A and B are shown apart, each in its own frame.
Chain A
Amino acid sequence: MGHIYAILLAGLFAIAAGLVGSVASMKRMVLASDVMSHLALPGLGIAFLLKGNPLVGGGATLFLGTLLVWQLQKKTDLATDASIGVVFAACLGIGALVTPNEDLLEALFGNFQKLSLPGFLLGTAAVMLVVAFLLGMKDRLILDLFSPELAAATGVKVALLDLGFLLVFSLTILVGLRFMGGLLSSALIIIPAATARQLTGRMGQFVVLASAVSLVSVAVGFLISTLILKTSTVGPTIVIVSVLLFVMSLLKKK
């Protein structure tokens, strides 16, 4: 049963990742956010070290790091762009140092394993929160994407909306953290959206396609990983499948 829960949650994660990724791609925050999963690494490492719950540790530093990134992003100049990069790299370094050697591979690249019922329910609740936020804030997000100034003039609280999106982004990373790992958890947010963008120019289709491509990547990657490669480190294979899908989408004539 534990594996069924894990598979189901992986699927839910894929859908959330596609949704979040499509918005992130429209916000042009792809490069910065791709490495956001690094923020979880110090917390993951400490949790492994102390034999605590990895998700709690990873979630804590992910959350704190997100707040930090949000503050840094509000000041838009080159220095803060660089400082965001420094934060990400530092987290990777610290995380790698802190994590016990035998857990390092799992922390970085994930491990597909049984999921308890409470864990499954929590993960599902998190995904539902992500979807609810994106659907509920859809119009405000559209205005923010078009022009943060005009959105503010229309009464949208732009800074809070951006924070909300960053948190939802982090929450999605957290849901996928165990089986995708700290390095690759955000790759699935980025790549399927890029693929979907090649295939359509309409926002509704774009968002749905991103989720669909993400789901296919997870399914195919998971199957190849467990059945052919016989490994529970499914993250890298999933990412490679998503990249192959992206390459295929480039072949499509617009």
Chain B
Amino acid sequence: MDIIVAIKQVPETSNVRMDPKTGTMIRAGVGTVVNPLDLYAIETALRLREAHGGTVTALSMGPRPAEKALRAAIAMGCDEAVFVSDRAFAGADTWATSYTLAQAVKKIGRFDLIVCGERATDGDTGQVGPGIAAWLDLPLATYVSKVEIRGADDAAAVRVERMVEEGYQVLELPLPALLTVVKEIAAPRLPTLRGKKRSKVTEIPLYDASTMDLDPAFLGLKGSPTKVVKVSTPKVMRSGTVVTVRDESEVSDVVDQLMAFLDERDLLPRGGRA
């Protein structure tokens, strides 16, 4: 069972600034972490390896410092990592990113399963996983909360439960396949001391534009169908009322005011037969 986990380095959520000219994020000087939702993808891959053998390769695309995310993945237990980085990839939207990552997967070669997080907490789109599946024509299951390998060798399949609006849809996919997983699937482990040591010495191959089979028209900002026109900071403050319950005797009065407020906005249910 050879598994590829696609991960992303993201800024720590607060304190993000945008370049008003390009509309892209200013990454310099911002703390970074492995996208928290990707930790569940790493954990899923590690558990499958523990149960069925094989290897886990972490894959990430980003600017040079993003290699750190891959070292964090190795510290958690991934066997290998591949870093996709080139100035030509900068500013890629989800279309161009999924193209570049799909080409990287082709270069890696053999694999049985690709696991991705539900979405990244910075871009918040969840589009790259399905995009990679489309490029590689892999069977896809998104929002997977439970995974189980069935059968072996040529008949190997993956049975999953995916979170949908009404509950869980149960699917079976032949391998190789691509899954995006949700938080519910498994609690991610912490890095081990041994893993941390290994992460410092593991050599991570760099896939750049010159070593990959790429259509230059599909790369980076230029190859992205979507363009950012404008970026603004929303006003989050609402001109709200705040009332204080100073002691128990005031509870009733405050709830009166709250009820009146909700009534005014027509937010309370109409009673029984009204």
A binds B: no
CB within 8 Å of B: which residues of A? none
CB within 8 Å of A: which residues of B? none
